[in-house]
Amino acid sequence: MLEKVEKLSAQQVTTSTLIKKAKKRKEILTIVGFIAPALIVYGVYVVYSIFMTFYYSMFDWSGIDKNLVFLGLDNYIKLFQDDIFWKSLGNNSLLVITSLLTQIPLGLIMALLLFSPIRGMRFFRSIYFMPFLMSTVAIGILFIFIYDGNFGLLNGLLGAIGLESLQQAWIGNEQTAIWAVIATVCWQFAPFYMILFRAAIVGIPEELYEAADIDGAKKWQRFKNITLPLLMPIIITSSILSIIGSLKYFDLIYVMTGGGPNNSTELMATYMYRQTFTNFNMGYGSTISFSMFMIALGVTVVILLGDKRRRGEE
Amino acid sequence: MKKKLMFLLVLVSLLFVVACNSTSSGSDSEKDNTDSGQETGSSSENNSGESKGDSGADKTLTLWHIETGPSEEAINQAVERFEEKNPGVTVEVSQIENDPYKSKLSVAMGGGNPPDVFHSWGGGWLKQFVDAGQVREIGNDIDTSIYNEAALSVATFDDKVYGAPVSMDVVPVFYNKDIFAKYDLEEPETYDELLTIVETLESNRIIPFTLANQSKWTGSFYMMYLAERFGGPELFNEAFGRTGRGFDDEAYVKAAEKIQELVKMNAFPDGVNGMNYDTGQSRQLLYAEKAGMQVMGGWLLNNVRDEMPEFEDKLGFFLFPAVDGGEGKKNHVVGGVSPVFSVTKSSENPDLAAELVKELASVETAEYMSNKAGSISAVNGVEYEDPYIQKMSDVLANSEAMQTYYDQTLPPELAQVHLDTTQALFGLSMTPEEAVKKVEEKAKELLDK
Amino acid sequence: MIKRISQMPLYLLSILLLLFTGLPFFIMVNTSFKQQFEFMSSPWSLPENFSFANYALVFESSFLKYFTNSLILAVVSVVLTIVLAAMASYPLSRMKFKLNRPIFLLFTVGMMIPIHTTLIPIYILTSKIGLYDSLAGLIGPYVAFALPVSVIIFTQFMKDIPKELEESAKIDGCGHFRLFWRIIFPLLTPAVATVAIYNFIQIWNEFIFALVLTNSSETATLPLGLREFYGEFSVNVPGIMAALTLGSLPLLLVYFVAQEKIVKGLAAGSVKG
């Protein structure tokens, strides 16, 4: 197109390219103007700390003196041979999978329920959100007592419905401890996905449903053919948030079990914390941190690429 | 034009690299000497926002501690006395919760802006900071003769004193007098008698020992006592000093076996490794009279006074009995020191800071803490008002040997292995041989240098 | 009548979920009215006599100071986060340029780094710029670490806004800046509400940065203030629960307001459609 114009008149060409250039320059200025403020704040704190984490990960450093000994990648080799790290990576994977399979469906169900014709929805809506609103300290302390083997509420409930055989000390037992804490984490975060989905469902134009109603679509079909496909992008986004959140999860484990008993609930982040602040291995702790970062980055890139292909196929 | 954006990005990232290099300049030149490393620490401190009296009369000292309740009051009073004696000097006191305190202090030390005076428990944890060149020797600034020798030893490394102790605790076996009376039990003299008590209680559906071992240091008491009872008071010193028996010595194996024997006798509550001492799960069982005994530091009484005051009447204690054929004795106690106050090397007013430590670790402070907060004084010459503390203090005075808590004495990384393996022993997920081997391996790695 | 019966399973499910999600909050409030010995002897019962002693204890401490500090921090940080993140998301979701994907990815990586190893660099940085032990020193890290999730959510929602809106506005001679604030941003209400709630809660409960970057009780936030209920080897559980119950009230308020906004956004959206 442009070339044809070019042949027409040299005069015009220069003006049009000039205009184009000016436009282009303006657009870039716009982009910079919009992004730069966030990028600067983000760069100063976040990008800088990521750099520093990588930097520290190459040293033998206690974190409390100025005596850094350069090791190159030795810490990473050590990490590969570290059983506890692999154990914690396994636990993190469990948490990732369980979170995906419970938080997102549960969040979706709760969000859909909020749109159903139930009385007192405002009340339900507030209560459903409670877990996410409670402080981790409160949740941690309460669930320690809920899972307690002697006075625990859970055992009490099991006893009340005749399931005494299932009663046990949920977080004292190495086999059940990880599930007990994972359940708590999922419980805490499901409401976040609820509000995320709710906000997305609000954005679905009503006409689509009206059209479907004319076609006499059943509720399930409405959900399957309209709601779910339109929610797919937000589901992908939620999955990424959930996966990354699970990969670097720390808080409740630290409060509830501290990674025990016998490392059975150790996560990468709690192990990193222990190495950094209990064992005074800032260098090795940073190695764990940066590895967690790389794992999360890898998983995210794979999901984004997969999503791109999916959209390409559509 | 896009290149410009790219350029911006690169520029920004470069800036960070520069920034990080400058902050760790001390390291780049690989200064092994801790003293010169320290200088970089204090120079970055000068740039920081905190106002630490530069010159003139108005000077500010910072003090970080973890005491709560009456002990915190004792600290505040000491600070007031200090400020009165030193006009123009103000002390900024920060009270921090136990666990977060450790992270906060580490970051402040690493970031080059630590407080002038800080709390510790002596032992391996304090030694980390001493080795890092962060702690000032104060042996010549304070009068070391006024302190209990055992207490002072936890802050003494290579004959140099790095901190002043205030209070001590010993660990007896607490028991419910009513329950003992009900089943006609008496305070045991030997370990076999203790086992008989365990059997009696167990057969009467009372949990013999309540224990919250998610906290780990709680279960460690059993390991320390049993190992001492088998191997004698020098066992740990030899293993730690690498001068004889090791952490895989026969005595440690036997102690580990005894722990597992107790576990198999149902001497502990179900899910003991999931229970948290701080939240009070183990004490709940004691108060509800579902459990008969608890091996715990003297501070248990403070917990009782806070949580279930009327229970105090039922609370008795005896010392962990000796084992037949073992080298240890009943009057060898496990105990520890807290708090210990030290001065950081980067303090700009080291003399004043040492004065503050003197006031914090004075007879007045120790007396107040002992009488109001129920701990034994680490400073000589304190008169006890509380008969309970008097009794505890007598126990300590009459003991022939004191074993300080492993987890505070050992270097933190080794302490962690000791705690983890002991917890695993309670969970029956590690054999005695495996457990002691793991500790010894770590000890070799960290101590044989 | 038939309709009611057909809704039975729905009600059942809703109520089950209600218990599932609401019970711990109820226990928290319930515990806050008990005395320590009461909690120790029967943790799950209703309080024998409702005692406000724990609440009195909370107000005896510097609770109001901590509360105000937390409130200032959360409000300022959340507003800043929303402005910065929404602006950055605009070109990322609606304009084509070569660095779009890399910059988006750069923004997402921030949530992958565990906080604890960043403490020392951020501590040094904060000290160097003279913001140690000030509320202002916390706003930077809070906003920066809130950006990733916020940018992801905003770009996601902005992609769904029809392009035609923009084009018609451009024809009217509306610049990008005005276009964004006048047309795009108001349509983002549900996303803004979600981002606001999420970040407000995270910042309200944040502990580790506040622990490391502040020191005096003048700058302490609510989570730090909880230390008043911890002994060296014990926790005053009812006391903590009272403080946390009070501390959750602003969150409830923010949640209500945000949810009402979403409903209003819904109404506004349907009018336009």
Question: Which phi and psi (to 5°) does residue A262 adopt?
Answer: 50, 50
Average pLDDT over residues A63-82: 93
pLDDT of residue B272: 94
C20 touches chain A (CB under 8 A): yes
- pLDDT tens per residue, range B334-351: 999 999 999 999 999 999
| Contact criterion met (CB < 8 Å) for A38 and C190 | no
State the pLDDT confidence band at B8, using cuts at 50, 70 and 90.
very low
CB count within 10 Å of CB C44 equals 14
In whole angstroms, how far apart are CA C119 and each of A266, B110, C115, C124, C210? 21, 10, 7, 9, 11
Average pLDDT over residues B379-405: 92
| Contact criterion met (CB < 8 Å) for C41 and B284 | yes
* Residue B294 in this model has a pLDDT that exceeds 90: yes
Does the residue B399 lie in any domain? no
> Residues of chain B with pLDDT > 90: what percent?
81
State the pLDDT confidence band at C268, using cuts at 50, 70 and 90.
low
Average pLDDT over residues B266-292: 94
pLDDT of residue B22: 38
| Contact criterion met (CB < 8 Å) for B214 and A25 | no
Closest CA to A92 of A243, A242, A240, A267: A267
pLDDT of residue B290: 95
- Give the residue from chain B lying closest to C215, CA to CA: B94
* Residue B52 in this model has a pLDDT that exceeds 70: no
pLDDT of residue C167: 79
Q: Which residues of A touch C273 (CB under 8 A)?
A: 205-207
State the helix-helix crossing angle for A48-56 and A282-313, rounded to 10 degrees. 130
Question: How many residues comprise chain A?
Answer: 314
User: Which of A16-20, C13-17, C21-25 bottoms out in mean pLDDT, i.e. has the lowest?
Assistant: A16-20
Q: Which residues of B touch C230 (CB under 8 A)?
A: 68, 97-98, 278
Average pLDDT over residues B311-326: 95
pLDDT of residue B99: 87
Contacts of A13 (CB under 8 A, 6+ apart): A5, A6
pLDDT of residue B5: 45
Average pLDDT over residues A277-294: 95
pLDDT of residue A314: 56
Average pLDDT over residues A100-119: 90
| Contact criterion met (CB < 8 Å) for A43 and B214 | no
- Examine the domain organization and report whether B160 and B174 are in the same domain: no
Q: How many Å apart are CA B249 and CA B407, to the nearest integer? A: 18
- Examine the domain organization and report whether B310 and B348 are in the same domain: no
Task: Return the residue matching tokens 């906080």.
Answer: C115
Does the residue B146 lie in any domain? yes
Task: Return the residue matching tokens 């009782």.
Answer: B304
- Examine the domain organization and report whether B293 and B371 are in the same domain: no
- Examine the domain organization and report whether B192 and B105 are in the same domain: no
Q: Which residues of C179-191 are buried (b: 16+ CB within 10 A; e: fewer)?
A: bbeeebbebbbbb
pLDDT of residue A17: 81
> Residues of chain A with pLDDT > 70: what percent?
95
Q: Which residues of C touch A33 (CB under 8 A)?
A: 177
CB B336 within 8 A of CB B297: yes
* Residue C80 in this model has a pLDDT that exceeds 60: yes
Superfamily of chain region C62-229: MetI-like (1.10.3720.10)
- Examine the domain organization and report whether B187 and B254 are in the same domain: yes
- Examine the domain organization and report whether B119 and B204 are in the same domain: no
Q: Which residues of B touch C232 (CB under 8 A)?
A: 66-68, 98, 299, 338
* Residue C211 in this model has a pLDDT that exceeds 70: yes
pLDDT of residue C3: 57
- Examine the domain organization and report whether B313 and B230 are in the same domain: yes
Average pLDDT over residues B171-193: 96
Tell me the average pLDDT of chain B: 88
Determine the distance in angstroms separating the CA of B331 from the nearest CA of chain A, rounded to an integer.
Answer: 32
- pLDDT tens per residue, range A256-268: 998 889 899 999 9
Kind and range of the H or E element at C16?
A: helix C8-32
Residues 118-147 of A with CB under 8 A from B: 141, 144-145, 147
Question: Which phi and psi (to 5°) does residue A72 adopt?
Answer: 65, -130
Strand-pair partners of B379: B147
Residues 80-139 of C with CB under 8 A from A: 84-85, 87-88, 90-92, 95, 97, 103, 105-118, 120-122, 125
Q: How many Å apart are CA A91 and CA A265, to the nearest integer? A: 7
* Residue C17 in this model has a pLDDT that exceeds 90: yes
pLDDT of residue B55: 43
Q: Which residues of C touch A233 (CB under 8 A)?
A: 156, 159-160
B contact test, residue of C233, C236, C237 with most B CBs within 10 A: C233
pLDDT of residue A313: 65
Q: How many Å apart are CA A130 and CA C23, to the nearest integer? A: 9
Q: Which residues of A touch B27 (CB under 8 A)?
A: 59, 61, 66-68
Instruction: Give the CB-side neighbour count of residue B290, counting CA atoms within 13 A.
Output: 15
State the pLDDT confidence band at C4, using cuts at 50, 70 and 90.
low
Strand-pair partners of B156: B161
The beta-carbon neighbor of B269 closest among A69, A149, A277 is A149
Tell me the average pLDDT of chain A: 89
End-to-end Cα distance, chain B? 58
Q: Which amino acid is at B363?
A: V
- Examine the domain organization and report whether B315 and B345 are in the same domain: no
> Residues of chain B with pLDDT > 70: what percent?
87
C11 touches chain A (CB under 8 A): yes
pLDDT of residue A205: 80
User: Which of A116-130, A278-292, C255-269 bottoms out in mean pLDDT, i.e. has the lowest?
Assistant: C255-269
A42 touches chain B (CB under 8 A): no
Q: Which residues of C touch A285 (CB under 8 A)?
A: 116-117
Q: How many Å apart are CA C179 and CA A68, to the nearest integer? A: 52
* Residue A217 in this model has a pLDDT that exceeds 80: no
pLDDT of residue C267: 54
- Examine the domain organization and report whether B293 and B329 are in the same domain: yes
pLDDT of residue C165: 77
User: Which of A212-221, A244-253, B302-311, B318-327 bottoms out in mean pLDDT, i.e. has the lowest?
Assistant: A212-221
- pLDDT tens per residue, range C31-49: 999 999 999 888 999 998 8
Average pLDDT over residues A106-119: 88
| Contact criterion met (CB < 8 Å) for B49 and C133 | yes
Of B365, B393, B421, the residue at which a domain comes to its end is: B393
- Beta strands B315-318 and B160-161, pairing class: unpaired
State the pLDDT confidence band at B43, using cuts at 50, 70 and 90.
very low
Q: Token pair for residue B337? A: 């020191």
Closest CA to B356 of B134, B58, B119: B119
SS (H, E, C) C92-158: HHHCCCCCHHHHHHHHHHHHHCCCHHHHHHHHHHHHHCCCCCCHHHHHHHHHHHHHHHHHHHHHHHH
Determine the distance in angstroms separating the CA of B287 from the nearest CA of chain C, rounded to an integer.
Answer: 7
Contacts of A280 (CB under 8 A, 6+ apart): A62, A63, A64, B106, B128, B412, B413
User: Which of A97-111, B29-43, B204-218 bottoms out in mean pLDDT, i.e. has the lowest?
Assistant: B29-43
CB C69 within 8 A of CB C220: yes
- Examine the domain organization and report whether B310 and B349 are in the same domain: no
**The Cα angle at residue A302 between residues A299 and A306, in degrees rounded to 5:** 140
Of B347, B366, B393, the residue at which a domain comes to its end is: B393
pLDDT of residue B40: 37
Contacts of C193 (CB under 8 A, 6+ apart): A195, A199, C258, C259, C261, C262, C265
* Residue A1 in this model has a pLDDT that exceeds 50: no
- pLDDT tens per residue, range A14-56: 777 888 888 888 888 889 999 999 999 999 999 999 999 999 9
The beta-carbon neighbor of C270 closest among A34, A47, A206 is A206
The helix/strand/coil state of B279 is coil
CB B321 within 8 A of CB B194: yes
pLDDT of residue C65: 94
Q: Which residues of A touch C25 (CB under 8 A)?
A: 127, 130-131, 133-134
* Residue C63 in this model has a pLDDT that exceeds 60: yes
Average pLDDT over residues C52-61: 91
Q: What is the CATH number of the domain that holds B81?
A: 3.40.190.10
Does the residue B400 lie in any domain? no
Answer left, alpha or beta for residue C135, where phi above 0 means left and psi between -120 and 50 means alpha: alpha
Written as one string, the DSSP assignment of B333-392 is EEEEE--EEEEBTT-S-HHHHHHHHHHHTSHHHHHHHHHHH--EESBSSPPP--HHHHHH
- Beta strands B173-176 and B167-170, pairing class: unpaired
CB B346 within 8 A of CB B114: yes
Determine the distance in angstroms separating the CA of B42 from the nearest CA of chain C, rounded to an integer.
Answer: 12
State the helix-helix crossing angle for C119-128 and A48-56, rounded to 10 degrees. 120
Query: Which residue segment(s) compose the domain that B210 sits in?
Result: 170-336+410-447
End-to-end Cα distance, chain C? 34
* Residue B35 in this model has a pLDDT that exceeds 70: no
Instruction: Give the CB-side neighbour count of residue B132, counting CA atoms within 13 A.
Output: 28
pLDDT of residue B80: 97
Average pLDDT over residues B320-334: 95
pLDDT of residue B127: 95
The beta-carbon neighbor of B107 closest among C36, C120, C207 is C120
Written as one string, the DSSP assignment of C181-246 is IIIIHHHTHHHHHHHHHHHHHHHHT--HHHHHH--STTS--HHHHGGGGB-SS-B-HHHHHHHHHH
- pLDDT tens per residue, range B96-134: 998 899 999 999 999 989 999 999 999 999 999 999 999
SS (H, E, C) B235-267: HHHHHHHCCCCCCCCHHHHHHHHHHHHHHHCCC
Question: For chain B, what is the domain count?
Answer: 2
- pLDDT tens per residue, range A157-211: 999 998 888 899 999 999 999 999 999 999 999 999 999 999 888 878 878 888 7
* Residue B41 in this model has a pLDDT that exceeds 50: no
Does the residue B26 lie in any domain? no
pLDDT of residue B14: 41
pTM recorded for the entire structure: 0.89
| Contact criterion met (CB < 8 Å) for A65 and B40 | no
- Examine the domain organization and report whether B64 and B115 are in the same domain: yes
pLDDT of residue A21: 85
* Residue C9 in this model has a pLDDT that exceeds 90: no
